[in-house]
Amino acid sequence: MTATSKAETPVLELRGVTKTYSVKQGLFGTAKPLTAVNDVSLSLGRGQVLGLVGESGCGKSTLAKILLGLEAPTQGEVRVDGERIDAADRRKLARRIQPIFQDPYSSLNPRKSIEDIVSLPLLVHDVGDSASRSKAVREILDIVGLPARVMQTYPSQMSGGQRQRVAIARALIMKPEIVICDEPTSALDVSVQSQILNLLGDLRAEFGLTYLFISHDLAVVEHLATRVAVMYLGRIVEETQVADLFDTPRHPYTQALLKSVLTPDPGQGVPDTELGMEYPNPIAPPPGCHFHPRCPVAMDKCRTDRPYPVATPDGHVECHLFGGEQTQPTKSA
Amino acid sequence: MPDPLLPEPLLTVRGLTIDIPVGGGTLHAVRGIDFDVNRGETLCIVGESGSGKSLTSLALMGLLGGRIDRRAARMEFDGIDLTGANKRTMRALRGDRMSMIFQEPMTSLNPAYSIGDQLTEALLLHRDISRDAARARAVELLEKVGITAAASRLGQYPHQLSGGLRQRVMIAMALMCEPELIIADEPTTALDVTIQAQILRLLVELGREMNMAMILITHDLGVVARVADKVAVMYAGELVETGSADEVFNAPMHPYTRGLLRCIPQPGKTERGARLGTIPGIVPSLVGKVSGCPFRTRCDQVVDACRQDVPHRHPGAGEHAFRCVHENGLRAGGEVVT
Ligand SMILES: Nc1ncnc2c1ncn2[C@@H]1O[C@H](COP(=O)(O)OP(=O)(O)OP(=O)(O)O)[C@@H](O)[C@H]1O
Ligand SMILES: Nc1ncnc2c1ncn2[C@@H]1O[C@H](COP(=O)(O)OP(=O)(O)OP(=O)(O)O)[C@@H](O)[C@H]1O
Ligand code: SF4
Ligand SMILES: [Mg+2]
Ligand SMILES: [Mg+2]
């Protein structure tokens, strides 16, 4: 279940991470727990790109926020280079893990110049003097392919692709080890998306960066990721190497996801995903396997017993088709 | 040359031009575009953000704002002239013979009215039909679009439904009067890939069943390839290439179309992790005088002549057409890169 050999400490590790929100339905409804991330364990080696996929509301962004220290896990722990990080160490965490978010329009302060936006992390962490910060900004802008003259301009004067480059420059100026990309290209046109994907690939090669790459575009994930984790209702239901996942998808949900990829091949029509259509209610998740109401191959057991992770040659899958029963629950369940 | 043996297209558009007054002058958002849609046929309009796709669809529906100037040499729906059509004619057509599905269902579903009321509204307006019969038809269509417990949904309100369900309701609503033409503007962009596939499949099936023509607007080349009979590639207010899905995807001619296809990772074709093709630069401003090929600022085949008028070219026997100074879309000595 780990992405690295035993000898090497994973650069990023999650152990039994759970996040439960309390949500109120309606004005006078009573608060009910909603488990957005449910006992997730993952580990990621240096230089890897973990693609995280799954439908809207499955918990991808919540997981990203926990890694960034923006949300505290209800249970479990996050380790960076083997060292346990608490949300209280947010500043420390921010030096090593930086985000790039989806929307290059709202994630940049419109009243700040590009120089101010990109140098802010240096200021917050009290790095260097104003001259050296300015130099650092110029260098990082060059790396992300923006001319130094944009330093005095404002986000509103830039295109979507340029803004996303600014967001990437801001994320990289602290020389983080890990970059959390939450749908970094979803708001961009394909002609701009490819430039950003190339840039992310180049930066990884050059600086040995590790990425968590959240995307709903499976073709992009297949292209960029080295490993892929498939999330469903807060659980990682399958995690493995990219080629293994796309060549031999095991979990029925993974299979449905791959079936729904529309490659630009005319004449092939729209495939039947064979997936039930109703989203599960995250406040009252279905018993047994959370996926069973939509699963085309659900068995009796799936309706009553929850499956547990089963090791596969390169990762794990959580489905009764592959075993997955366990008499004792895992430590944190 | 129209073939006398072929039936007239359901929709004919010639020289559609849309000008918008803006602060610094006039935005020439759409400039002289031509296309036809036959009965039962799906035309996909694909292009990047701001290329004029939504304006084009709103122009067809007669839904452009008052400040916006729309002109066309010809714009006909089943023989009805849309260029001169008054509000009443348009209102009679909309929701009845032609209807529209928008990207974000919440903008077109009224939060204050029940699903049932909104579904039956157009039918009650356009047809002589009882309330009960209209509700029966609504239930039938909700079931068709795969909504379970359809009868009980009629009393629900939009906010009580998930995004995927709302989009299905929108589709059911657009189908209530069995329109001859549906215009769907990014109908699945906001949805998960699995739901997107289900909804597109549904649209294609229902379209076939009802012999409905569809104009589907999207920026997703995968969607286009799988759904389109015909494709129109739009760039900065012009259709730079049109043709059958097979022609446009398997024998793209325009440098922009070729560039787009190189930008997307294609599983099985693109090497994993390899650099993707790019189209550097940004879309030109369309405020003020626009001349020459609008793609020339980003084109890898550009020559001086691209500043002048660019001819339409017809590379094959079919409807395939593109606009470029180069006869085959390539500079002399240029090579097709795939
Ligand atoms: N602050 C919050 N309070 C209550 N519930 C929340 C909160 N944040 C997220 N949730 C819920 O947690 C679940 C997971 O949300 P999350 O944003 O992580 O999903 P996601 O996978 O990123 O979805 P998307 O693809 O739409 O971005 C959802 O059911 C969501 O409604
Ligand atoms: N009411 C308006 N006033 C001023 N400019 C407008 C108006 N409506 C559209 N535009 C401009 O016209 C151009 C075309 O807009 P349109 O909405 O048709 O683009 P689109 O191809 O649908 O893009 P997207 O993929 O982002 O939806 C854009 O530059 C847009 O900013
Ligand atoms: S006309 Fe010129 S600029 Fe336009 S696509 Fe052809 S080569 Fe490129
Ligand atoms: Mg999210
Ligand atoms: Mg639009």
* 8 Å CB contact of A267 and B278: no
Give B288 Cα–ligand 3 centroid separation in angstroms: 21
Which helix (H) or strand (E) segment holds residue B241: the answer is: strand B238-244
Is the CB–ligand 3 distance for residue B27 below 6 Å?
no
What was the pLDDT predicted at A331?
Answer: 44
Residues of A in contact with B197 (CB under 8 A): 259-260, 262, 270-273
> Which DSSP string corresponds to A70-132?
SS--SEEEEEETTEEE-GGGHHHHHHHEEEE-S-TTTSS-TTS-HHHHHHHHHHHTT-S-HHH
Radius of gyration of chain B (CA): 21
Contact B225 A265 (CB under 8 A): yes
pLDDT of residue A4: 47
Confidence (pLDDT) at A301: 95
User: CB-based contacts of A193: which residues, under 8 Å, 6+ apart?
Assistant: A185, A220, B263
A147 — contact with chain B (CB < 8 Å)? no
**Which residue in B276, B164, B114, B106 sits closest to A277, CA to CA?**
B164
Q: Coil, helix or strand for B181?
A: strand
Distance CA B153, CA B116 (A): 7
Sign of CA dihedral A223, A224, A225, A231: negative
Say yes or no to pLDDT of A249 above 70.
yes
Instruction: Kindly state whether B143 is in contact with chain A, defined as any CB-CB distance less than 8 angstroms.
Output: no
Q: What is the pLDDT of residues B119-162, one digit of tens each?
A: 999 889 888 999 999 999 999 999 888 787 888 889 999 888 87
User: Which ligand gives the minimal distance to the CA of B328?
Assistant: 3
Per-residue pLDDT band at A218 (split at 50, 70, 90): very high
Position B77, amino acid: F
CATH superfamily to which A3-322 belongs: P-loop containing nucleotide triphosphate hydrolases (3.40.50.300)
Among A131-145, B68-82, B87-101, top mean pLDDT goes to: B68-82
> In the prediction, which pLDDT does B2 show?
53
Give dist(CA A21, CA A100) in Å, integer: 24
Q: State how far residue A155 is from chain B, nearest Cα, in angstroms.
A: 15
Q: Is residue A223 less than 8 Å (CB to CB) from chain B? A: yes
Instruction: Please report which ligand is nearest the Cα atom of B219.
Output: 2
Q: Quote the minimal CA–CA distance from B271 to chain A in Å.
A: 8
According to DSSP, residue A261 is labeled -
Q: Which of A276-280, B8-12, B27-31, B85-89 has the lowest mean pLDDT?
A: A276-280
User: Regarding predicted confidence, which is higher, A46 or A333?
Assistant: A46
Over residues B168-200, the pLDDT tens digits come to: 899 899 989 899 999 999 888 777 888 889 889
Any B CB within 8 A of A47 CB: no
Residue A123 at interface with chain B, using a CB cutoff of 8 Å: no
Residue carrying structure tokens 């430039």:
A195
Task: Taking residues B80-106, report their average pLDDT.
Answer: 87
**pLDDT band at residue B105, thresholds of 50, 70 and 90?**
low
Instruction: Determine whether the interchain pair A261/B222 forms a contact, defined as Cβ–Cβ distance below 8 Å.
Output: yes
Count of alpha carbons within 13 angstroms of residue B44, beta-carbon side: 26
Q: What is the mean pLDDT of chain A?
A: 88
Q: Cα(B109) to centroid of ligand 2, in Å?
A: 22
CA distance B162 to chain A (A): 8
Q: Is A283 on the interface with B (CB under 8 A)?
A: no
Q: Which domains does chain B have, with CATH numbers?
A: 7-86+216-338 (3.40.50.300)
Which one, of A180, A19, A294, lies nearest residue B192 by Cα?
A294
Which protein residues touch ligand 2 with a CB less than 6 Å away? B 20, 22, 27, 29, 47, 49-55, 65, 219
Question: For B201-257, how does the pLDDT look when each residue is reduced to its tens digit (9 = 90+)?
Answer: 989 998 999 899 999 999 899 999 999 999 999 999 999 999 999 999 999 999 999
CA A60 to ligand 1: nearest atom: 21
Per residue in A150-183, pLDDT (tens digit) is 999 998 888 778 888 899 999 989 889 999 999 8
Q: Residues lining ligand 1, CB < 6 A?
A: A 21, 23, 34, 36, 56-62, 282
**B201–A198 CB contact, under 8 Å:** no
| A94 close to A69: Cβ distance less than 8 angstroms | yes
Give the three-state DSSP class for B282. coil
CA distance A79 to A85: 6
Residue A11 near residue A210, CB atoms below 8 Å = yes
- Do the Cβ atoms of B198 and A275 come within 8 Å? yes
Distance B218 CA to ligand 5 centre (A): 8
Question: Which ligand number lies closest to the CA of residue A31?
Answer: 1
Per-residue pLDDT averaged across A132-154, rounded?
Answer: 91
- Measured between CB atoms, does B264 come within 8 Å of chain A? yes
Nearest CA residue ID for atom 1, ligand 3? B324
Secondary structure letter of residue B232 according to DSSP: E
CB B176 within 8 A of CB B115: no
Give residues with Cβ within 8 angstroms of A237, minimum separation 6.
A230, A231, A251, A253, A254, A291, A317, A318, A319
Query: Could you tell me the CA-to-CA distances from B257 to A319, B42, B250, B270 in Å, in that order?
Result: 43, 19, 11, 17
Backbone angles phi, psi at A199, to 5 degrees: -60, -45
CB B242 within 8 A of CB B233: yes
Backbone phi, psi, residue A126, to 5°: 60, 50
Q: Are A291 and A253 in contact (CB under 8 A)?
A: yes
Best mutation target, B198, B256, B271, to test chain A (most A CBs within 10 A):
B198
For B43, phi and psi rounded to 5 degrees?
Answer: -105, 125
> Tens digits of per-residue pLDDT, B278-330?
998 888 889 999 999 999 999 999 999 999 999 999 998 889 999 999 999 99
Residue A240: is its pLDDT beyond 60? yes
Residue contacts between A and B (CB atoms, under 8 Å): 136
CA distance A91 to B106: 39
Residues of chain B in contact with residue A272, where contact means CB-CB under 8 angstroms, are 197, 201
A266 touches chain B (CB under 8 A): yes
What percent of chain B lies above the pLDDT cut of 70?
96
What span, in angstroms and rounded, lies between the C-alpha atoms of A144 and B124? 57
Q: What angle do CA B175, B176, B182 make, to 5 degrees?
A: 30
Sketch the domain layout of chain A as residue ranges.
3-322
Q: Rounded distance, CA B188 to CA B206, Å?
A: 16
